[in-house]
Structure 1
Amino acid sequence: MSIRLVAMDLDDTLLRDDWTISPRVVKAIQKAQAQDVKVTIATGRMPVSTRPYALQLGLDVPVITYHGAMIQQVISGEILFRRVIPSKLAVEIIRDVLSRGFYAQVYLKDRVITSRFNELSEKYARISSVVIEEADLVSTISQEPEGVEKILLMAEEADLDRLVPVLKQGYGEKVHLTKSKPYFLEMTDTSVNKGVALAALAERLGIAREEVMAIGDSFNDLEMISYAGVGVAMGNARQEIQAQANIVTATNQEDGVAEAIERYVLGEPV
């Protein structure tokens, strides 16, 4: 069965280390689209940080952001799906992690907010090309009638790994915990992840699971790699990610996305 939908993670997958898309990757995606293959992005990033890349590639399919908590049309900005962490729960979590000394950011549609700027927020703003607001997180969340799309904690990987069991014990049935980078621990509503969102998008487009390819590199990509008929791990992905994939392609620095599309979607020799 041929591939009719390709979903790609952004950071360390579609993007090179300098946060650009290589010409070879752009060409492969454009060739796939010319053959009526739908191509989309599935990322933990917020919509405003995702949109420039989607526009660069001319994507005509809704993009998956916040690990699946939001699906949005690229050009119009119309929100097709949104699932949040309820405000009361988000406040409880924020109070908990701040009391433990962790740096946190919360996401409200196209806003990202932290209680205090530091080197972590500066690094994140540079990577994602977004403006981070500084405000009291508890007060900000409390004023939001619905909730927040995502909570992000940034710290050394060992510190986050020690925190995960604590968060699972307290909130494991209420939020979905994942990592997009070793030093990013992210929380969304328990019902959403990239796999759930990709399945919903494929159904919306009338595309069977077997006709879907998903490409990623990190823990937050595991659900969509497992869902897709063809799950692809990047060559720069950790071994535990590669072990869950059907295929391992080249690294993000070696045009791994292009290699996967050329070989398994376009049927070209690589």
Structure 2
Amino acid sequence: MTIRLVAMDLDDTLLRDDWTMSPRVIKAIQKAQAQGVKMTIATGRMTISARPYAEQLGLDIPVITYHGAMIQQVLSGDILFRCVIPSALATEIVEDVASRGVHAQIYLKDRVITPKLNDWSAEYARIASVRIEEDDLSIVLSQEPEGVEKILLMGEEVDLDQLAPLLRQCYGEKIHITKSKPCFLEITDGSVNKGVALAALAEHFGIDQSEVMAIGDSFNDLEMIKYAGLGVAVGNARLEIQDQADIITASNEEDGVAEAIERYVLNANL
């Protein structure tokens, strides 16, 4: 098996628990790039939050952000693909969850907006290193003609697990719902996920599905892990994700991404 394209999730996969990349991981990625393998990030984060890591790695191809709602050249800012939740639908959803007392944030290109700053928004800002704006979401959405890339709901996992089926029942195939972390319920347009975006990127480069490797840890990575010719779960991945992966590598704290690249990309290309 020859791997020509590798997509890596960021949080809890490429990044260690302190949100840094180990020297071994960086070296493996840069060595693979030097051999002509295309390396990219596939994350739920916004582009501005993913950019520092892409720059550190010297990634020269588009990255997948917002769980696949956008594919963007991270350095130039050129957008190859963007699919939004229409403003009217987004307004309905944020008003619905507000009535349920659930904290929500909307993502509009490189802006994050929430109706009220609180402990949840502070935690997200700390993780993603972004500034969160406080504003009336209905007003913001009424002024946005197209829509938003993503809606993030934050709360205790048990509460989000009860909410997700209610939202699916209410909005059906109009939206795609997934989890990136136990306390993050992520909503995008119904046609969007990392697997769809990765397939589009592979087609863009003329790379066959069998030549793609995807590495992740959580529910939002499931579609790209199942799409890839070689789907990899890091050792700290949720068991439901490990069960769907072709192989399981070491954890994010033990250089799992580097281990997978070294074994299935670099050694295979010797």
Q: Fold match, TM over 0.5? A: yes
Question: 1:20-51 deviations in whole A, cap 9, x for unaligned?
Answer: 00000000001100100000000000000000
Note the 1:138-149 alignment, pairs <5 A: 138-149=138-149
In structure 2, give the amino acid aligned to 1:238.
R
- Quote the Cα distance in structure 2 between the aligned partners of 1:74 and 1:100: 36
2:136 is the alignment partner of 1:136: yes
- Where does residue 210 of structure 2 map in the other structure? 210
2:113 is the alignment partner of 1:113: yes
Q: Cα offset for 1:172? A: 2.0
Q: Cα offset for 1:142? A: 1.2
- Where does residue 182 of structure 1 map in the other structure? 182
- Where does residue 44 of structure 1 map in the other structure? 44
- Where does residue 199 of structure 2 map in the other structure? 199
Note the 1:1-270 alignment, pairs <5 A: 1-267=1-267
In structure 2, give the amino acid aligned to 1:57.
L
Q: Cα offset for 1:246? A: 0.3
- Over aligned residues, Cα RMSD in angstroms? 0.6
Unaligned runs of 5+ in 1: none
In structure 1, give the amino acid aligned to 2:102.
F
- How many residues matched? 268
Identity of aligned residues (%): 76
Q: Secondary structure at the match of 2:104?
A: strand
Question: 1:63-87 deviations in whole A, cap 9, x for unaligned?
Answer: 0000000000011100110000000
Q: Cα offset for 1:17? A: 0.3
More displaced stretch, 165-174 vs 17-26? 165-174
- Quote the Cα distance in structure 2 between the aligned partners of 1:173 and 1:260: 34
Q: Secondary structure at the match of 1:76?
A: coil
In structure 2, give the amino acid aligned to 1:127.
I
- Quote the Cα distance in structure 2 between the aligned partners of 1:61 and 1:250: 26
